[in-house]
Structures are given as C-alpha cells and as structure tokens.
Structure 1
Amino acid sequence: MQRERNGALWGIGAYVIWGVMPIYWKVLGHVGSFEILVSRIIWASVLTTLLVVFMRNGRNLISDFRTLWQSKRQFWSLFFASTLMSGNWFLYIWAVNHGHIIQTSLGYYINPLVSVLLGIFFLKERLSYSQQVAFLLATVGVVILTFSYGHVPWLSLALAISFAVYGLVKKQIQLDAIRGLAIETLFILPFAMVAYGWLFFHSPTAFLQVDVKTDILLVLTGVATGLPLILFVKGAQTMPLYMVGFLQYIAPTLMLIIGVSIYGEKFESIDLLSFSFIWAALILFAVSKIAEVIQQKKAATH
C-alpha cells in the first residue's frame, strides 16, 4: 500500500509539472518556437545521456543500440517515433506561445481516447458498451467545437493523434524509459544541431544573444523535458494502471485553468458545453476501465 501511495505521489508530481509547463514556455515567449524546439532536443539529449552514464547504464545504452540495429523494423520505428515526438513538441510550444493553451488542453484530453481507437484498429482490442458511449460523447464534444470555431480543431487533433501514434509505436518497442528517451533524442540530435547552426548564421537567435536568464532557461529545457518523465517512470513502476489513467487528466486540467485564469484565453458557454461532453466521456471511460480491473482481480482470486 505504501509503495502504491509513493508511486501515486511520483505520478502526481510528473503530471503537475506537465500541466504547468505552459508557464515555462510563455516565459520563453520572446524566443522563436523552432529555436525552443531545437534547444529542447539538444539539452534533453545531453541530460538523458549524462543521466544514463551517471546511473552506470552506458553499456546498456550501447546494447540497446545494437539490438535495435539488428531489427531494422524496430530501429526505423523508433526513429519515426522520435520524429513524431519532435513534431508534437513543436506544435505544443507553438500553440502555447500563440495563445492556444485551451486547444492544447483539449488535445491532451482527447489523446487517451485516440490511443484506444488506435488500439482497436491496430492491436485488435475491443471496447465495452460504456466505452463506445464514451467515444460517442467525445465525438459530440469535438463536433460542437468544430461548429463553434467554424473549422475542425486541427491543432488539438494533431497534438492528440501525434502523441497517440507515438505511444502506439513505443508500445511495440521494449526499452527502458530513460534510455529510450536518450536514444530518441540522439536520433534527432544531428538534425537539431544542423538546424541550430543554420538559425545562428541566417536568422536572429536568442541563445547567447539576449541575456543570461534566457540562456539558462533554454538550457533548462532539457531538465523540463527529462524530470517529469523520470518522476512518471518511478510512479508507473508501483501504481496501478487505473490510477495512471486517472492521473493523466491532471495535466490538461491545469493547462485549461492556466489558459483561462492566467493568460485570459476565451472560454465561452459553447466551449464549456463541448468540454462537458468530453469530460463526461472521460469519466465514463475511466469508470469502465476501473470496473474491468476489479472484475479481472475477482476472476484471478476465484
């Protein structure tokens, strides 16, 4: 029980950091979104690689590379996943710094449902009746938003789909979470270095050009990326799966509160209506998953 409680605390810490991250990106609002992205890739790569070495897992990291290379499908699948990750990071940073925090919140609310939908199509998983109703409710919420905006909320859907596909690909590659992130960022690191070099010589950059505070914040993007992941991994090792399902809604909820209360983004009656459908869908979905876990435990004891 104590281990589960500690795991939940680690998990809550991770999701709270992810939830308040828009504030961090807003502080870096004077820096171009693309420069923030390449900084995040570079410093996350440095941090995770140093962490792997510090944990005396350098040999395991090399072994992981060799194992991946032996299976070309897994190697290129992980490369694809790292590309998706980078694209998701860019969309998220761009959205926050262009006044679309509520849309990012919506994207990460929808993400778990998209993940399950991908599981149905690609992993042949099945949905219960209540989970089917949850999907219908979520769809109604997105349709309402579409009519409200006058267009499909592409930004939210792109964030949800890219992260869900990333999760699907990663699910089929067995790697330690920290070493996996190190490899993913190492895959993209050469491209990020070239991009930063191009930016430095062909357009105004913020790093080493604005002030020390900006330099420090850009370097710490690596910590902002790695720290919540490490907390999540520690938590996920000991807390039940259904608890992970509940806790993941902390982050988009905090994003929504921050977008409305701190940065004054519009959240009108029609938005509340559409989000209410999505919240109802998520509650129904979460409750149905908990019921499944309880039934499985009962079946295992008989």
Structure 2
Amino acid sequence: MAAASSREQLEIKLILVLASFVYGYFKFTWALRQFNVLSILIGAAPTGQRDEPKVDAFARRVAGVHNLAGDDFNRGIRAYYFGLAAAGWLLSPVVLGVLSLSVLIVLYRRDYRSATLDVLRPRNREAVNADRQVAGIGFGLLAYGMWGFFPLFFHQLSHVSPMDVLSNRAAWAFVFVGLLLSLRRQWGKVATVFRTWQHLAMLALAALLIGTNWLVFLWAVANQQVVASSLGYFLTPLVSVLLALLVLKERLNRLEWISVALALIAIANDVIALGSLPWVSLVLAGTFGTYGLVRKKLPVDSTSGLWLETLAMLPVCAIYALWQAQSGHAVFTGHDLRTTLLLACAGALTALPLIAFAAAAQRLDLASLGMLMYINPTLQFLTAVWIFGEPMQSERLLSFALIWLGLLVFSWSAWKKYRQAA
C-alpha cells in the first residue's frame, strides 16, 4: 500500500515537471511564429506615406503582435524556470522550496530590476505610479502569504523542541541577514543604533518581545494550537489601537472604541468557552503589538533591525545550548540532513517576508497595506482547520466572528481617516 502511494506521488511529480516543460515549449514555438510575423510586418511597413491614420493603425498592429510575442516568450521562460524548480521536488520538498524561492528572486530581478527594462520603462508619472502600486501589492501578497504558511513549514519541525527551533532560527537568521547587509552595504544603518544606550535598551526589549512571540508561535504549532495563534494575529491590530490609547495617549474615535469593545467581548467569550484565558492568543497579540510600538522608536530599517534583534537573542540561545549540553543534548548539531536543512531555511524564511514587507510599505499607502495584513491570520486559520484538522467549537467560532466584525469596523475607520487625510 505504501509502495503504491509512493509510486502515485512520483507520477504526480513527473507529470507536473513534464507539463511545465511542455507548456514552456509550446509558448516558445508560438512566440517564434509571432516574431516571424512581426518581421514580415516590419518589412512591409508603408514608407513615404503621409496618411497618418493609416500609418498609426499599422504601427498599433505591429505593436500588438510584438506584445503578444513578448508575453508568450516570457510565459515560456517562466514555465521553464518553475519546471526546473518542480524537478527539485523529486529530491525533497525542501529543495522544491529553495528552488521556488530562487525562481521568484530571479523573476523579480528580471521583471522589475532589469537595467534594460529600466531604460525602456515609460517615465510618465501615471505609469510609474501604476507600476509601483502593482509591485507593492505583489510584495505585500508575498510577505503576508509567506507568514501565513509558516505553520505548514514549522509543522515539519514539530519533532524538535520549540526552544531548539528558536535558537537555530535566530542563529541562521543572524548569518543570512548579515550576508544581505554586506551585499547591500548597509552596515552604516546598524551602527546608528549603537550610538546611544537608549537605542540599545529598546533593541533589547524588541528582541525580547519578538523572541517571545516566535517561541509561543512555535509552541502553538507543535501542540496543535494554530487556531489560537491565528486568533492572536487577528487581535494584533486591535491591540495596537489599545496601546495607542494607553501608551501614546491618542484619542480613539467612536468606530475604534467599538472595535476594541468587540475584541474584549470576544476574549470574554473565549474565556467562558475554554474555561481559561486564551493565553496563546493574548501573548502573541500583546508581544507583537508592543514590538511594533517599540520598533517605531528605533531609527533602523526592518532588515538591519532583524539582524540586531537576532544578535541580542544569541547570548540567550548560547546559554540555553550550554545548559542543554550538560545533559547531553546538542541544540545546533546532531540533527539529520533534512532537519538541518529545514532549520537553516527557517533563518532565511524569517528574513525574506520582512524584506518583502519593507518593499511593499515603500510602494503602498497605509490603507492598502492594512487590508493585506489579514491574509496572514486567515491562512493560518484555514491551515489549522482544513489541513491540521484542529477542532473548532461553535462557542469559539463566535469569538472569531466578533473579532472579524471588530476588524471590519476598525478597517472602515482607518479607511475614513486615510480618505480625509488625502
């Protein structure tokens, strides 16, 4: 039975690889045919005519064929890229993930960072703004989509204790982000934080908050509490509103008060339904909301900030590793190859969504970015219920309904503020 299942999986993988390459081949051949038609049209171009409408119509026809040929050629290249990534699935899901990520980076650089395209790209303001908006949405979807699928990834490491995963995640993220900072030559931004002890204190607090958030999230994934973690991330925007009231002394409007009230009612309902405080949800929402508040005070971008935060975590992780070594347990070594690769990828996956998020924040207004943020907890919720099969009591569903209603009211309030400011 197991052999038959393994054979079926192999056939599915081979079909996927073959379909990618066949699709790419037909797109290439169709593009070559269109380029051939294009060369014939260019050779038959009217010369010496002063009939501007006729010449203009001919030029539009040539441009249309050129765009079709270029689109088909690009689709063929993308199909070949993803076919190569899919071939990595034959070796391991980890190889598939690494190759797919590499393909996305290559396509991004080819489609958005190409020097040739930069020369050819139209420079009128409307076109540039439209390109920035589309790119911003793409980066936002990539960032929140990756965060939303974190439970699926870290579920593969459920056999490793959460603190071990956290230690390896921090160490590999430190190395990966350090390489990125070297490639980008951004160490000057890091140095600004070390100039005052207040910044160092805030950095230590930020590291403590995000480290606690990561640890509780990893515990939730390992102990089938992903529904609770999704509720926590749904609560985060409302916690941020509450922190703005309590810490920053900002005044809330009526809609924001309603959204906070709905969140409090949802928590009370969860306490009644579970018979205890939903501590996983509250800790995740509280630590991440407070982390966002602290990070706003630090004069450093998200990538440099992540390197500094993992640097602050390393002494704690080292002390934990030494403590475990006394009982014969190796935190950073002794894993099988698959686990080691997953732990290394955890470091990179920690940084990549933050980089994509920073790129989205540069291109999108706050209202658009705020709408995208609900993708993360929604994907976590669907993963927990549909893939992990976690139970969902009707009483707890009421808590989610109240939170969703509160988020709807909060989003409407944020949208009104944005429109008034514009």
* Interval of TM-score (by shorter of Structure 1 and Structure 2): over 0.9
Matched residue of 1:266: which SS?
coil
Name the amino acid aligned to 2:178.
T
Name the amino acid aligned to 1:38.
S
In the alignment, which of 170, 192, 216 is matched to residue 91 of structure 1? 216
Identity of aligned residues (%): 35
In the alignment, which of 212, 234, 259 is matched to residue 384 of structure 2? 259
Cα separation, partners in 2 of 1:59 and 1:130, compared to 1, 3 Å: closer
Distance in 1 separating the partners of 2:148 and 2:223: 17
Map of 1:165-244 to 2, 5 A cutoff?
165-205=290-330, 207-244=332-369
CA distances 1:209-260 after superposition (whole Å, capped 9, x unpaired)? 2421011111111111001111111111111101111111111111110001
CA distances 1:106-145 after superposition (whole Å, capped 9, x unpaired)? 0001011111111111112121111111111121111111
CA distances 1:79-106 after superposition (whole Å, capped 9, x unpaired)? 1111111111100001111010000000
Shift of 1:187: 1.5
In the alignment, which of 174, 187, 190 is matched to residue 45 of structure 1? 174
In the alignment, which of 182, 199, 207 is matched to residue 74 of structure 1? 199
Distance in 2 separating the partners of 1:4 and 1:236: 10
The list of structure 1 runs, each at least 4 consecutive aligned residues, that deviate by more than 3 angstroms after superposition, is: 203-208
Indicate yes or no: 2:281 matched with 1:156. yes
Greater relative CO (CA pairs within 8 A, separation 6+): 1
Contact 1:4 1:240 in 2 (8 A): no
Cα separation, partners in 2 of 1:281 and 1:144, compared to 1, 3 Å: same
Matched residue of 1:16: which SS?
helix
Name the amino acid aligned to 2:412.
V
Name the amino acid aligned to 1:217.
L
Unaligned runs of 5+ residues in structure 1 are 298-302
Cα separation, partners in 2 of 1:97 and 1:13, compared to 1, 3 Å: same
CA distances 1:127-180 after superposition (whole Å, capped 9, x unpaired)? 111111111112111111110000111111011101111111111112121111
Distance in 2 separating the partners of 1:193 and 1:208: 13
Distance in 2 separating the partners of 1:32 and 1:117: 33
**RMSD over aligned Cα atoms:** 1.4
Cα separation, partners in 2 of 1:201 and 1:288, compared to 1, 3 Å: same
Contact 1:206 1:214 in 2 (8 A): no
Deviates more, 1:252-261 or 1:69-78: 69-78
Report the equivalent of 2:65: none
Matched residue of 1:123: which SS?
coil
In the alignment, which of 123, 131, 135 is matched to residue 2 of structure 1? 131
**Rg larger in structure:** 2
Unaligned runs of 5+ residues in structure 2 are 1-129
CA distances 1:23-82 after superposition (whole Å, capped 9, x unpaired)? 111100111111001001101111111110111223443x22xxx333212211111111
Distance in 2 separating the partners of 1:32 and 1:280: 36
Name the amino acid aligned to 2:327.
H
Report the equivalent of 2:31: none
Distance in 2 separating the partners of 1:19 and 1:30: 21
Distance in 2 separating the partners of 1:189 and 1:195: 10
Count of aligned pairs between the two proteins = 293
Report the equivalent of 2:372: 247
Shift of 1:201: 4.4
Matched residue of 2:210: which SS?
helix
Name the amino acid aligned to 2:209.
L
Report the equivalent of 1:300: none
Distance in 1 separating the partners of 2:383 and 2:337: 27
Indicate yes or no: 2:394 matched with 1:269. yes
Shift of 1:200: 3.8
